[in-house]
Copies of this chain bind each other. A is one copy, B any other.
Amino acid sequence: MASHDETSAEDRLIARHFAPLATHPGALGLTDDAAFITPPPGSEIVLKADAIIGGVHFFPEDDAATVAQKALRVNLSDLASKGATPLGYLLSLALPKDIGEAWLARFAQGLREDAERYGCPLFGGDTDRTPGPITISIAMVGSVPAGTMVRRAGAKPGDLVFVSGSVGDSTLGLVLRKGLDVPLSEAQRQHLASRYLLPQPRNALAEAVRMHASASMDVSDGLAGDFAKLCRVSQVGAEVEAARVPLSDAARAVVAADPKLLLTALSGGDDYEIVCTVPPTKAAGFRAAAEAAGVPVSEIGRVIAGQGARFLGADGQPLVFERASFSHF
């Protein structure tokens, strides 16, 4: 007789590729309908969901391990900016029929490496076939001590504006990938390309942000547009000096070759840095905590009363962006 115990293709796929990633005891080896976690005592749970889609957020030919890590890291970046520690994630995976074992094995490998790197095991999820492109939906779960999640609201006039790392690499990497011809060294080209391919979220900075920032967000849709959102929700204005916004050597070389690409760097997407505001009395503590965490931070401007985040050029006049923020929508 046909076995009632026969497992479906989905069950086999999950058992082979994903169950080994479900290292948290509450994930029950992905053999149950749901997972459970015990929140750390005195904590609140921080939740974020974001999806990436083949042909929209990544190229179909990209390494599946990198795609998996991009899907995780765009969510990890949000948690970092909120001062939260990752606990784990749920994954909904929609796959075209022609996706094979090799792709899945690489994809799972990417998840496995990042689970160790960021401390975020797989809690559960589902897989489906789709007639459309690969669609990877992640719901990330983290925690903070109760009442300490850093919000976009909270910036006050007088606060200093900080941004982590360097801005614009990813969007310039995409511009190069699409064919822009600029004289760059191979190392510079590689740097920009890798920033587009794989976000390096600033989870190491999360505690510094939580202890010192009055408001914070991650920079995923362009610094100019994202910081404008923070100012709007905080009901403040700001002045940022474009010359103080940190650029990598490679980005600097691109902008030297074509100065109008500075606006692209300041408004393009996929930086996955953190922009935050810090009261002047806490600035030294923030700098010290960031240094201890090994994350470079740059002071780029100041919060003021009023409305609008203005980016000032070398002449002291506001820069004019064609569009202040990038949208895949």
Contacts and interface: CB of A to CB of B under 8 A. Distances in A.
B4 A309 contact: yes
Q: How large is the interface on A (under 10, 10 to 19, 20 to 34, 35 or more residues)?
A: 35 or more
A135 to B, nearest CB: 5
Contacts of A44: 26, 36-39
A141 B47 contact: yes
22 contacts: A4-B224, A4-B309, A5-B232, A5-B308, A6-B325, A8-B225, A13-B329, A28-B153, A33-B82, A36-B47, A39-B43, A45-B141, A47-B124, A47-B139, A50-B126, A51-B137, A128-B328, A128-B329, A130-B135, A131-B132, A132-B133, A135-B135
B31 A90 contact: no
A186 to B, nearest CB: 33
Contacts of A307: 5
Interface string A2-36: 11111011100100000000000010100111111
Interface in A214-233: 217-218, 221, 224-225, 228-229, 232-233
A149 B131 CA distance: 36
Contacts of A129: 56, 328-329
Contacts of A225: 4, 6, 8
Given A33-B78, A44-B39, A131-B132, A53 B137 contact: no
Protomer copies: 2
Interface string A78-96: 1101101000001110100
Contacts of A328: 10, 128-129
Main secondary structure of the interface of A (DSSP, over half): mixed
A10 B327 contact: yes
Interface of A: 1-6, 8-10, 13, 26, 28, 31-39, 43-51, 53, 55-57, 78-79, 81-82, 84, 90-92, 94, 123-133, 135, 137, 139, 141-142, 144, 146, 149, 151-153, 217-218, 221, 224-225, 228-229, 232-233, 307-311, 318, 320-325, 327-329
